[in-house]
Chain A
Amino acid sequence: LAKTTQPISMDSYEGQEVNITCSHNNIATNDYITWYQQFPSQGPRFIIQGYKTKVTNEVASLFIPADRKSSTLSLPRVSLSDTAVYYCLVGDRAGANNLFFGTGTRLTVIP
């Protein structure tokens, strides 16, 4: 499984757009990039997944450059309820099988 590197923590004010970047220099051809969100004492929740270019859903966008060695999760207009830990995962096994979560990025949204 490709190792990922993310900032340990980030702060943002309510209403701002937040971009969290993840480095995955050793990403393999078959690997997907998946982001999960976790609130305290709860299980992680799937946010978005992509392979290349840009993916957008109702909660976030995922930007992946051509070389796929990094990716950026973009959260538009964050609210206090977006305060959580965000994990970037890389692998060809995007199901529950042996996911490597790393340390994640703790996002704190400030009023």
Chain B
Amino acid sequence: KAGVTQTPRYLIKTRGQQVTLSCSPISGHRSVSWYQQTPGQGLQFLFEYFSETQRNKGNFPGRFSGRQFSNSRSEMNVSTLELGDSALYLCASSLGSGAIGTEAFFGQGTRLTVV
């Protein structure tokens, strides 16, 4: 079956702009989580959506937001971009939220560069 699909793969934006990233989870998966990965901070959890509801949120400013649609596809938005937002943004899907013994499947990520 198809894996987690993230679009676009690469993106260049200017400081102050906003950006929307998209994630299509594996068919049947209802939990979608977003992570930011930078060389300095490593992989950091942004937020998780399950059945269109945000279930958990990491320690990121309000400029980072997301949503999930009824078909489980998810988008994340970053407003007023800063240079420090340059990172690889990863989306992961799993069958359930907090299900013990469930593995997470990650997409290839979107490489965002803010100039």
- On A, residues with C-beta under 8 Å from B are 30, 32, 34, 41-46, 49, 87, 92-104
Q: How many pairs of residues, A versus B, come closer than 8 Å at their CB atoms?
A: 87
Q: Considering only CB atoms, which chain A residue lies closest to B111 in the complex? A: A41
B31:A43 contact, CB within 8 angstroms: no
- Known A-B contacts: A49-B101, A95-B96. Give 4 more (CB < 8 A): A93-B97, A97-B48, A97-B50, A97-B98
Q: Verify if B24 is at the interface (C-beta below 8 Å from A).
A: no
Contact flag A98-B4 (CB < 8 Å), given A43-B109, A45-B106, A92-B100: no
**CB-CB < 8 A to A42: which residues of B?**
106, 108-109
Least Cβ distance of A73 to chain B in Å? 15
Among B55, B94, B103, B108, the one with the most A-chain Cβ atoms within 10 Å of its Cβ is B103
A101:B106 contact, CB within 8 angstroms: no
Contact flag A102-B94 (CB < 8 Å), given A42-B109, A43-B107: no
Is the interface on chain B under 10, 10 to 19, 20 to 34, or 35 or more residues? Answer: 35 or more
B93:A96 contact, CB within 8 angstroms: yes
**CB-CB < 8 A to A98: which residues of B?**
33, 45, 48, 56, 58
- On B, residues with C-beta under 8 Å from A are 4, 31-33, 35, 42-43, 45, 48, 50, 55-56, 58, 88, 90-109, 111
Contact flag A104-B95 (CB < 8 Å), given A32-B100, A96-B32, A97-B55: no
Say which residue of B33, B42, B91 sits within 8 Å of A97 (CB atoms): B33
Contact flag A34-B107 (CB < 8 Å), given A96-B93, A96-B94, A100-B45: no
A94:B45 contact, CB within 8 angstroms: no
Q: Considering only CB atoms, which chain B residue lies closest to A92 in the complex? A: B100
Say which residue of A44, A45, A97 sits within 8 Å of B94 (CB atoms): A97
Say which residue of A44, A46, A95 sits within 8 Å of B95 (CB atoms): A95
* A38 to B93 Cα, complex, angstroms: 16
Q: Considering only CB atoms, which chain A residue lies closest to B107 in the complex? A: A43
**CB-CB < 8 A to B96: which residues of A?**
95
15 chain-A/chain-B pairs, Cβ below 8 angstroms: A30-B100, A41-B111, A42-B108, A43-B92, A46-B105, A49-B101, A93-B98, A93-B100, A94-B104, A95-B102, A96-B93, A97-B31, A97-B33, A97-B50, A99-B92
